[in-house]
Amino acid sequence: MGAGRTRRYDGGVRRYFTPRCLGLHATLLVLLPAFAWLTSWQLSRALDGNTLSWAYTFEWPLFAAYAIYVWWQLIHDQDTAVTRRAHSRATEAEEDAGHNQPGWALSGGRRKNVAIAASTAVEEGRPAHGERFVEQTPEEAARLAEYNRYLAGLDARDADADADAGRR
């Protein structure tokens, strides 16, 4: 009866049940009640006349909100096997279509932008932290290849110097 149906939540929910995420869930389940208890404890002290406790009464809920924010960010910062498989299928489709050309990605924030050489285009549809992609010109590709040859020569020279030092 239900053998032919696919499970609806495989991709979206499975990411929340990895061992790493389960540890984060457990940590949050310990922290939030602790922060709630600390808030009520500081509130009772503040109502008894300890004026410094008023600051802590409002500070512990802020810590709880920050813990939830960090938990959310840590849950969503790593790709899971499901998203990696979907990403690899999309990358293969782009390569088949010829859209995966090397170029330059401009990465950074509002104040600082850094141009980095990218071997593949920044994927559209994925959250890129301020990245914009521009395809390399043939001149840039030639300069980059020349620079990589220069770095390889330096590396070979250092390896030769280390080998000579080792013989002495």
- Per-residue model confidence as pLDDT tens digits over 133-153: 567 788 888 888 899 899 889
Selected residue with higher pLDDT from 125 and 154: 154
Q: Where are the domains of the chain?
A: 11-75, 137-168
> What burial letters (b/e) apply to 44-54, b meaning 16+ CB within 10 Å?
ebbeeeeeebe
Distance in angstroms (rounded) separating the CA atoms of residues 101 and 95: 8
Q: Which residues pair with 117 in a beta bridge?
A: 104
60-64, 92-96, 156-160: least confident range: 92-96
CB-side neighbour CA atoms (13 Å) of 35: 17
- Is the pLDDT at 50 greater than 70, yes or no? yes
Is the full-model pTM beyond 0.95? no
User: CB–CB of 103/120 below 8 Å?
Assistant: no
Distance in angstroms (rounded) separating the CA atoms of residues 155 and 160: 9
DSSP 61-102: HHHHHHHHHHHHHHHSSS--HHHHHHHHHHHHHHHHHT----
Distance in angstroms (rounded) separating the CA atoms of residues 52 and 58: 11
